[in-house]
Amino acid sequence: MSSIYAAFCNNTTDLQSVVSDIDKYDRKRVLMTNFVASGTSNLYYLHNAGYVDQLYMDGAEQTKVSDTPNAMGEYEYDSNSDRLQVYIGGSSASDMNTRVFESGQDWSGLKTTVCKEQADLMRSFLDRPIYKRANTTYQGASERSYDFIVVRINAILACADLVRSHDPEKSAEIEAMATNPDGTGLLDKLKRREYVMSNETSFASEKGVIQEISLNGSTTGYIEDIKLHGPPNVDYDEVRVVISTGGTFALGTSSPVKYDVYVKNSNGIRMSKVVDAEQVNGDYQSLAYSARIRFQAGVYVADDEWAIIFQSDELPVGTIKSGQIYR
């Protein structure tokens, strides 16, 4: 049965960025070298083998079957008798016992499972939604479907779990990067909202966050700053700033560059024009919601577009601290 919940990190480079040699912690166990002939040519038994999901011979994956093996590299584990049957052509019992047989799980499948399990642990620990960012416009510098802080925590916890059975002490050190009794891990901080996710209200989002939407390859100018002259008094909007007349804005000259500003209305985002063809002058200029913007000198091309995202909440985001005052 499939789940709607997925891992936040991938099972390759994200794990390696936390533990570079994570691939050696693949949870394989070496089987006993007590193979005996079965009485059928090229078929060998290993009694008291213990559960075998994926069999490896000298590091190579063998082929799992549900009936008696009869082709090179096939194997079958009988849980009722705790017996492993392996078919190796042209071999002998003594030759079988010189080889290295290991039991494990498919490595890619195991890593995927662990990443998903640790993602579920994160959801339970945080007790607040973690939303996907499928639209590349909002994925930020990491170009990932989830906030990078979420990706990194998932990778840390997955690595800690994979390492645990082999090296518990190292596993604890890795896990402490995400959560620990002192509360200094990344997951601890995310729970306390010292980190906020892209969908959550923060002091930055209340002031306005600038994102590039579409810029010409020749464009060198940009929106440098936002200044609020009062609370934005809007729960959410993506204010769009669009260059209506392009040109070069240089200090000491009259600028040919003009811009428009669009805000939302009851029909959707970027619907109402509230600033029409205002000349760029390098000072703080009209935007919306008691905010003003300042453009940097440079080249601007018609239809260059930025979004300035305002997101407010009734409760301010922050942390509560205590202190003593003496008189």
Q: What is the pLDDT of residue 41?
A: 95
- The b-or-e profile of 142-175 (16+ CB within 10 A means b, else e) is eebbbbbbbbbbbbbbbbbbbbbeeeeeebeebb
Q: Domains in the chain: how many in total?
A: 3
Query: End-to-end CA distance of the chain, in Å?
Result: 66
Low-confidence stretches of the chain (pLDDT < 50) are 1-3, 315-318
Last residue of a domain, one of 73, 104, 135: 104
Structure tokens at 59: 């590091």
Cβ-count burial of 176 within 10 angstroms (0-12 exposed, 13-18 middle, 19+ buried)?
A: middle
Q: What is the pLDDT of residue 199?
A: 67
Q: What is the pLDDT of residue 204?
A: 53
Paired residues of 77 in beta bridges: 84
List Cβ neighbours of 252 (8 Å cut-off, separation of 6 or more).
Answer: none
Residue 52 lies in a domain: yes
Residue 246 lies in a domain: yes
Q: Distance between CA atoms of 191 and 210, rounded to whole angstroms?
A: 25
Q: Decide if 257 contacts 300 (C-beta within 8 A).
A: yes
Q: Distance between CA atoms of 292 and 290, rounded to whole angstroms?
A: 7
- At 283, give phi and psi (nearest 5°): -95, 175
Chain centre distance of CA 175:
17
* Same-domain check for residues 137 and 72: no
Structure tokens at 17: 């960025």
Q: What is the pLDDT of residue 206?
A: 66
- Give CA separation, 319 vs 170, 190, 265, in Å: 32, 12, 34
Residue 7 lies in a domain: no
Q: What is the pLDDT of residue 317?
A: 46
Per the structure, the complete domain to which residue 36 belongs is given by 29-104
* Same-domain check for residues 77 and 93: yes
Residue 96 lies in a domain: yes
* Same-domain check for residues 265 and 171: no
Q: What is the pLDDT of residue 2?
A: 43
* Same-domain check for residues 211 and 307: yes
Residue 115 lies in a domain: yes
Q: Distance between CA atoms of 240 and 269, rounded to whole angstroms?
A: 9
What 3-state class would DSSP assign to 5?
coil
Residue 56 lies in a domain: yes
Chain centre distance of CA 298:
35
Q: What is the pLDDT of residue 309?
A: 87
- Give CA separation, 176 vs 105, 114, 146, 182, in Å: 27, 18, 22, 9
